[in-house]
């Protein structure tokens, strides 16, 4: 059962890349599918203004002929110039619960970054920190917040097992309906 990583080059490949999470989370009670048109815009290297100053390649993982993961390799020149860094990013990471699949995807981005002469990789960012980034590490039993990722509970283990370390904590907050309900005050 070998794992094959293929670069998504054609319109059909990109459609598979975009739609893979819809298959992966198909019956998940808390995953909220993003709008397909929004996802198409995020990865459209010809029309999305992000790619005027950045580079990206998109990859699909296949096992026994079936798509089992995806990832992108990103070089954000504006980020590197502003922060005086020489790093690449990985984004749009989605995978079945299989370390071999996840590791092949991470290795693909790592190899790409080395070929570009980059010092390290960081992620996930989809495609930049102005969009959704990070992975969920707790709160899997709650619906996701706007612009915050939602992923399976096994994602942190896949990333840590590969050797990734936390770079930054990102927080989202929960506000209950009760907290939003106006209170009527009266003087007695």
Question: For residues 14 and 43, what is the distance between their CA atoms, to the nearest angstrom?
Answer: 8
> Which structural domain, as residue segments, surrounds residue 37?
3-180
Token readout for 86 is 């020489």
- Supply the pLDDT for residue 185: 64
In a domain, 87, yes or no: yes
What CATH number corresponds to the domain at position 63? 3.40.630.30
Decide: 18 and 40 in contact? Cβ < 8 Å: yes
Confidence category of residue 169, pLDDT binned at 50, 70, 90: confident
Answer whether residue 123 shows pLDDT above 90: yes
185 or 57: whose pLDDT is higher? 57
pLDDT digits (tens, 9 = 90+) for 89-122: 999 999 999 999 999 999 999 999 999 999 999 9
In a domain, 186, yes or no: no
What angle separates helix 11-24 from helix 36-43, to the nearest 10 degrees? 130
In a domain, 151, yes or no: yes
Pairing verdict, β 3-7 and 87-95: unpaired
Decide: 150 and 31 in contact? Cβ < 8 Å: yes
Range in 116-120, 121-125, 140-144 with the lowest mean pLDDT: 140-144
Q: Whole-model pTM? A: 0.89
In a domain, 187, yes or no: no
In a domain, 79, yes or no: yes
In a domain, 120, yes or no: yes
- Cα–Cα distances in Å, from 144 out to 21, 140, 182? 15, 8, 24
Per the structure, how many domains does the chain have? 1
């Amino acid at each position: 059962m070998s794992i094959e990583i293929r670069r998504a080059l054609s319109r059909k490949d990109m459609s598979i890349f975009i739609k893979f999470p819809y298959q992966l989370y198909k019956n998940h009670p808390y995953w909220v599918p993003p709008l397909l048109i929004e996802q198409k815009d995020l990865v459209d290297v010809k029309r999305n203004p992000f790619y005027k100053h950045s580079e990206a390649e998109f990859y699909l993982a296949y096992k026994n002929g079936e798509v089992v993961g995806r990832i992108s390799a990103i070089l954000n020149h504006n980020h590197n110039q502003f922060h005086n860094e020489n790093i690449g990013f990985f984004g749009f990471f989605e995978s079945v619960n299989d370390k071999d699949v996840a590791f092949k995807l991470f290795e693909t981005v790592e190899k790409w970054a080395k070929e570009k002469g980059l010092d390290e990789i960081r992620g996930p960012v989809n495609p930049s920190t102005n969009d959704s980034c990070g992975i969920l590490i707790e709160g899997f039993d709650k619906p996701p917040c706007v612009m915050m990722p939602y992923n399976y509970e096994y994602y942190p283990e896949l990333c840590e097992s590969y050797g990734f370390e936390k770079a930054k904590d990102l927080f989202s907050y929960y506000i209950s309906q009760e907290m939003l309900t106006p209170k009527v005050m009266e003087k007695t």
